[in-house]
Amino acid sequence: MPANLPPDYFAAEKRFREAKSIDEKIAILEEMMAIMPKHKGTDKLFGDLKRKMAKLKSAKESQGKSGRKEHWKVEREGAGQIVLVGPPNSGKSTLLRALTKAEPEVADYPFTTTSPVPGMMPFENIKIQLVEAPAITSEIIESWIPNLVSMADAVMLITDLSSDNIVEDAQAVLEQLESRKIILSGSETEEVKPPYRRFRTAIVANKLDAEDAAIRLDLLKEAFGTRFGIIPVSAKEKDSCKNIPPEAFRLLKIIRVYPKKPGKKLEMDDPLILKEGATVLEAAEALHKEIAQNLRYARGWGEGIYDGQHLARDFVLKDGFILEFH
């Protein structure tokens, strides 16, 4: 049986999609439920609206009692931790599902995620931890999100290429975090004075499959392209997300180094993870304190050196180096 919804309903539905605050969305939902004709054809739709209403009221209650969850902490795993932030319905949960084995709830209403959701994303022979944070708007941010971000190594700001408010929504996320002394930036040279802290960030422009996505992508690049790297993707198409893992690795500013025992076969599946700029001595320290204490030199294989070259303790390493400690 068809729903036969009146024009007033569709007008309210449009206002609901554009609404910013939870209170505004709740009021519009109540209006939509009042407008909707009651018959078998609208039973499913009415049920969907009731579920949206319950989620919004739960999010509002959580916001009011957020003091109970101010100390959310996600145990770090893998080569590094990256927090996914963004406005409502930007597709963070769908993206997390596409990149990891995590199974966050995915729905077409805002504030589906109410607590941090971690997942492990493979990149070549390592794994990077992604942590999805609840949505942020100009009016709403969970009080513990800044603390979650401050404990991470980097950030990805997920934006919505199906939204005409893509630039304003992204700016709202940046401003909410900045008001809490956290600066998201893709520039290594941007200076930040205490008590502000800068976090390396890339923008993921999601929903590339949406109508007029190319136009909104140009607007996003115009607004933020000089400050952030921008990765256009469609989380619904896994192949479209292939550029995210290497960008995540770049954001982390880490290198992989492979220790090799003299006369033994090289194992490439468990590298040492070090910060960019790490030295031979720091690699030895990461492997074992005793090796570092007794280290005279290392033989190395890698970019820019000849095979088996003797490397001093202060030699600066690059990603992919193989080291034999002596």
Q: Final residue of a domain: which of 252, 268, 293?
A: 252
On whether both 206 and 77 belong to a single domain, the answer is yes
Specify if 1 maps to a domain: no
Number of domains in the chain: 3
- At residue 9 the predicted structure's pLDDT band, cuts being 50, 70 and 90, is confident
CA 180 – CA 89 distance, rounded (Å): 23
Q: CA nearest 204: which of 241, 243, 168, 230?
A: 230
On whether both 162 and 49 belong to a single domain, the answer is no
Pick the more confident residue, 156 or 16.
156
Specify if 95 maps to a domain: yes
Pick the more confident residue, 35 or 58.
35
Q: Does residue 148 contact residue 116 with C-beta atoms inside 8 Å? A: yes
On whether both 167 and 310 belong to a single domain, the answer is no
Specify if 2 maps to a domain: no
On whether both 46 and 172 belong to a single domain, the answer is no
On whether both 129 and 208 belong to a single domain, the answer is yes
- At residue 28 the predicted structure's pLDDT band, cuts being 50, 70 and 90, is confident
Domain holding 248: CATH number?
Answer: 3.40.50.300
For residue 190, give the 3-state DSSP assignment.
coil
On whether both 147 and 207 belong to a single domain, the answer is yes
CA 306 – CA 198 distance, rounded (Å): 38
Specify if 90 maps to a domain: yes
* Residues 96-115 pLDDT 10s: 999 999 887 666 655 666 78
CA 163 – CA 211 distance, rounded (Å): 10
- At residue 188 the predicted structure's pLDDT band, cuts being 50, 70 and 90, is confident
- pLDDT of 69: 44
* Residues 78-91 pLDDT 10s: 999 999 999 999 99
AA letter at 45: L
- pLDDT of 109: 55
Q: Final residue of a domain: which of 64, 92, 109?
A: 64
Specify if 299 maps to a domain: yes
Task: Give me the domain span that covers residue 236.
Answer: 69-252
Q: Final residue of a domain: which of 195, 225, 252?
A: 252
On whether both 149 and 294 belong to a single domain, the answer is no
On whether both 245 and 259 belong to a single domain, the answer is no
**Which tokens belong to 259?**
């220790």
On whether both 230 and 259 belong to a single domain, the answer is no
Residue 310 has pLDDT above 80, yes or no: yes
* Residues 219-272 pLDDT 10s: 999 999 999 999 999 998 888 999 999 999 999 999 999 999 888 888 888 899
Fill in the DSSP letter of residue 69: G
On whether both 301 and 181 belong to a single domain, the answer is no
- pLDDT of 106: 66
Domain holding 297: CATH number?
Answer: 3.10.20.30
Q: What mean pLDDT is reported for the chain?
A: 88
DSSP letter string, 254-315: EEEEEE--TTSPPP-SSPEEEETT-BHHHHHHHH-HHHHHT---EEEESTTS-TTEEE-TTP
Specify if 89 maps to a domain: yes
- At residue 34 the predicted structure's pLDDT band, cuts being 50, 70 and 90, is confident
On whether both 46 and 86 belong to a single domain, the answer is no
Residue 67 has pLDDT above 50, yes or no: no
On whether both 127 and 197 belong to a single domain, the answer is yes
Mean pLDDT of 151-160: 97
Residue 63 has pLDDT above 80, yes or no: no
Q: What is the pTM of this model?
A: 0.77
